[in-house]
Amino acid sequence: MKEVVESYFNQRSLVNHQLASYNDCIPIGDGRESRMEKIVRSIRIGSDEQVEDDEGGLVKLDLLDKEIIVRLKNVRLGAPIVKEANGAEHPATPLECRLRKLTYFSPVYLDFKIYRDDLPPSSGSEFGFQEEKGVHIGNLPIMVRSSM
């Protein structure tokens, strides 16, 4: 058994395994669909129906007299940044973050399409919609030496 473990770690390290897993998850601009994008597109809240389209995840809200459907897709990471105490932002480097004891992170952006029954209907739909692109939904720590 010891020989098998040694053979594995001669070809791969524990760090390489972690990097490969991280790179598989994060969205990268190489055209492939990341695991994070697949998770966002598979979201179904408030509806049990199967939806087979390319509009993304679905969140259905039933309010008292309005029906709202939110579609989610296109999760993206921005460039790593540092937010100063006065609100200023500038590009981050791993070295600066380590020296200042800050988190090395990137902002996460998502596109929303909000369908509402109180808006004028659009072509081919019973609901009108408003589109919000590049909404900042949070921050994701960046692993040093990842493909980000």
Q: Is residue 147 part of a domain?
A: no
pLDDT at residue 124, rounded to an integer? 66
Query: How many domains are there within the chain?
Result: 1
What is the chain's length?
A: 148
Q: Quote the pTM value.
A: 0.80
- Give pLDDT tens digits along the chain (148 positions): 888 888 877 777 777 878 888 888 988 876 568 899 999 988 898 877 777 777 888 898 888 788 888 999 899 999 999 999 999 999 999 999 999 999 999 999 999 999 888 777 776 667 788 899 999 999 999 998 888 7
Tell me the HSE value of 119 on the side-chain side, using a 13 A CA sphere: 16
pLDDT at residue 89, rounded to an integer? 92
- Report phi then psi at 81, rounded to 5: -135, 160
- Report phi then psi at 46, rounded to 5: 85, 5
What is the extent of the structural domain holding 40? 2-141
Q: Is residue 54 part of a domain?
A: yes
Q: How far apart are CA 76 and CA 65, in angstroms?
A: 34
Q: How far apart are CA 40 and CA 32, in angstroms?
A: 15
pLDDT at residue 126, rounded to an integer? 73
Q: Is residue 126 part of a domain?
A: yes
Q: Is residue 88 part of a domain?
A: yes
pLDDT at residue 4, rounded to an integer? 85
Q: Is residue 146 part of a domain?
A: no
pLDDT at residue 30, rounded to an integer? 60
C-alpha distance from residue 38 to each of 24, 26, 43, 74, 89 (Å):
11, 11, 9, 10, 30
pLDDT at residue 31, rounded to an integer? 57
Q: Is residue 148 part of a domain?
A: no
- Report phi then psi at 27, rounded to 5: -75, 125
